[in-house]
Amino acid sequence: MAWTWRFEKADGTETEPAVQPEDFPTQSDAESWLGEVWRELLAGGTDQVTLQEDGSTVYGPMSLHSAKESDTGGAASE
């Protein structure tokens, strides 16, 4: 089984990620990787991601924009 991410613009069209992913052996590995690089992906033009297992959607699309950023229209503070 291979776990992969689909990288999308806000309208759902696929986009090239700013950080090249790999195929992950477990869901946990895929999620950990995303947790480490989501800011870089967002800065590079990815708005949302979808987790897939062997080509089937597990969940998503999941926005990389924080709820606070959406509410204020600006960048989220850390």
Give domain limits for the chain.
3-64
* Whole-structure pTM value: 0.82
Q: What is the pLDDT of residue 27?
A: 97
Contact 25, 10 (CB under 8 A): no
Confidence at residue 4, expressed as pLDDT on a 0 to 100 scale: 96
Q: What is the pLDDT of residue 54?
A: 94
pLDDT, averaged per 10 consecutive residues of the chain (78 residues), comes to 94 96 94 96 97 96 77 43
Rounded CA separation 13/45 (Å): 12
Q: How far apart are the first and last CA of the chain?
A: 35
Distance in angstroms (rounded) separating the CA atoms of residues 60 and 76: 21
Question: In this structure, is the dihedral angle defined by the CA atoms of residues 56, 29, 22 and 48, taken in order, positive or negative?
Answer: positive
